[in-house]
């Protein structure tokens, strides 16, 4: 059974206040939406992700390279219309429809929803109401409500795709959630156990709670990398994905991009997954002359598959020449593109070694880098 996660993120977040819709605001080091996305990316039973984003928010999608990580759909004026737009792009047999605003969703909740779909057309997480329920008016208690059989609904709400697509297509687009749409179409929905941590950021105070929950779960790793390549004949050097004109080239088994190799090794280091040689042995002729982008993309994919987000890389190139400064902006942009992260999370700088040592004598280029990875 292939599954598609549809993460709806096209709302305006009016109740949460602030300058930006809540899904684009930062919590514990990254946006609310990216936290939600990371949970589904790392989930072993999720095969595809569709992100539903308001047409006016596409600049956020571009800045964060989200189209490299998920299929993007344009959202509608109500949550239901946004879900329908996501359903049009989903190819899985089952769909998990999730609020981007529930950015602390534990992986176990997703497992329980998928288990629930084995013998029902719909399954959704909820928590029974344990507090007493009152009715009130003008600041006074006016009565006690029976809480028997009442549940607090959460997401992801899971369904067999074709059934919920037909249900949404037939609905008026005004339902609060997908369970309401499914029930209106006569579909049974199984209740599975939700989780107290699966809060929805709705009001301004919810950001602090999410920060607490996400911060407490964080696993932060730092890796370092170091590499050297010697000069040889040529008319340019590849540095951090940019061909820099020069009167020599760098020698190596691949394209000898010393900066990119160093960042790649820093990422493998943070994951404790060896180095480039472990994954791409120099003895293997298929990597001769390879573009180093292949190595960096592999390290980033490995990080994501293990549930890590690359939050920052810092690379220092050590050489007397060529001059790196004029190319640094292009290098940052290219590295960010390959890594699928924002440019402001990539630092590329350079130094000389004051004419000392092999770099000072102009025999080659050295590079060092650190990478910071976060998992929650």
Ligand X SMILES: C[C@](O)(CO)[C@H](O)COP(=O)(O)O
Instruction: Give the separation between CA 288 and CA 266, rounded to whole angstroms.
Output: 22
- Positions that interact with ligand CTP (CB under 6 A): 8-16, 23, 52, 75-79, 82, 99-101, 200, 202
Considering the rule CB under 6 A, would residue 155 count as an interface residue with ligand X? yes
Contacts with ligand X in 191-210 (CB under 6 A)?
200, 202
Instruction: Give the separation between CA 316 and CA 310, rounded to whole angstroms.
Output: 18
Considering the rule CB under 6 A, would residue 320 count as an interface residue with ligand X? no
For β-strands 122-128 and 151-153, DSSP reports them as antiparallel
To the nearest whole angstrom, how small is the minimum distance from the Cβ of residue 253 to ligand X?
A: 52
Tokens of 122: 């719909």
Contacts with ligand X in 4-63 (CB under 6 A)?
none
Q: Report the residue number, 14 or 132, with the smaller CB distance to ligand CTP.
A: 14
Would you say the C-alpha torsion 77, 177, 165, 48 has a positive or negative sign?
positive
To the nearest whole angstrom, how small is the minimum distance from the Cβ of residue 57 to ligand X?
A: 18
| CA terminus-to-terminus distance, the chain | 27
Considering the rule CB under 6 A, would residue 80 count as an interface residue with ligand X? no
Q: Report the residue number, 83 or 331, with the smaller CB distance to ligand CTP.
A: 83
Considering the rule CB under 6 A, would residue 275 count as an interface residue with ligand X? no
Residue 56's contacts (CB-CB under 8 Å, 6 or more residues apart) are none
Residue 153 interface partner, choices ligand CTP, ligand X, none, CB cut-off 5-8 Å depending on type: ligand X
Q: Report the residue number, 16 or 350, with the smaller CB distance to ligand CTP.
A: 16
Instruction: Give the separation between CA 212 and CA 11, rounded to whole angstroms.
Output: 24
Question: Measured at the alpha carbon of residue 205, what is the angle toward residues 129 and 139, in degrees to the nearest 5?
Answer: 60
Whether 353 has a binding-site annotation, put simply, is yes
Considering the rule CB under 6 A, would residue 332 count as an interface residue with ligand X? no
- State the DSSP H helix or E strand holding residue 259, giving kind and residue range, or none if neither: helix 258-271
- Binding-site annotation: residue ranges for a divalent metal cation: 227, 229, 261
* Binding residue positions: 227-229, 253-254, 261, 275-277, 351-354, 358, 361
């Amino acid at each position: 059974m292939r599954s598609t996660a549809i993460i709806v993120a096209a709302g305006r977040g009016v109740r949460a206040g602030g300058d930006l819709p809540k899904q684009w605001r930062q919590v514990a080091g990254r946006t609310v939406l990216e936290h939600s996305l990371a949970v589904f990316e790392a989930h072993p039973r999720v095969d595809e992700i569709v992100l539903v984003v308001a047409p006016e928010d596409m600049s956020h999608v571009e800045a964060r390279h989200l189209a490299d990580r998920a299929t993007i759909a344009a959202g509608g004026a109500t949550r239901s219309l946004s879900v329908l737009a996501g359903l049009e792009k989903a190819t899985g047999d089952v769909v998990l429809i999730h609020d981007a605003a529930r950015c602390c969703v534990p992986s176990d909740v997703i497992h329980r929803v998928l288990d629930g779909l084995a013998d029902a057309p719909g399954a959704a997480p909820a928590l029974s109401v344990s507090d007493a329920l009152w009715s009130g008016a003008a600041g006074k208690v006016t009565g006690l409500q029976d809480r028997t059989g009442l549940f607090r609904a959460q997401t992801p709400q899971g369904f067999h795709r074709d059934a919920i697509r037909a249900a949404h297509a037939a609905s008026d687009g005004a339902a609060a959630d997908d369970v309401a749409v499914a029930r209106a179409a006569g579909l049974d929905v199984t209740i599975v156990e939700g989780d107290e941590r699966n809060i929805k950021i709705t009001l301004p105070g919810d950001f602090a709670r999410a920060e607490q929950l996400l911060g407490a779960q964080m696993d932060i790793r730092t890796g370092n990398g170091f590499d050297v390549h010697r000069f040889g004949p040529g008319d340019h050097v590849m540095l951090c994905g940019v061909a820099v004109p020069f009167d020599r080239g760098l020698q190596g088994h691949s394209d000898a991009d010393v900066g990119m190799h160093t960042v790649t090794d820093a990422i493998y280091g943070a994951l404790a997954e060896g180095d480039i040689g472990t994954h791409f042995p120099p003895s293997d002729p298929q990597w001769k002359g390879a573009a180093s982008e292949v190595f960096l993309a592999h390290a980033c994919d490995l990080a994501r598959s293990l549930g890590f987000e690359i939050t920052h890389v810092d690379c220092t190139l050590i050489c007397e020449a060529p001059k790196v400064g004029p190319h640094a902006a292009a290098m940052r942009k290219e590295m960010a593109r390959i890594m699928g992260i924002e440019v402001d999370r990539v630092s590329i700088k350079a130094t000389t070694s004051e004419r000392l040592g092999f770099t000072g004598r102009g025999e080659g280029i050295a590079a060092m880098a650190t990478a910071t990875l976060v998992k929650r």
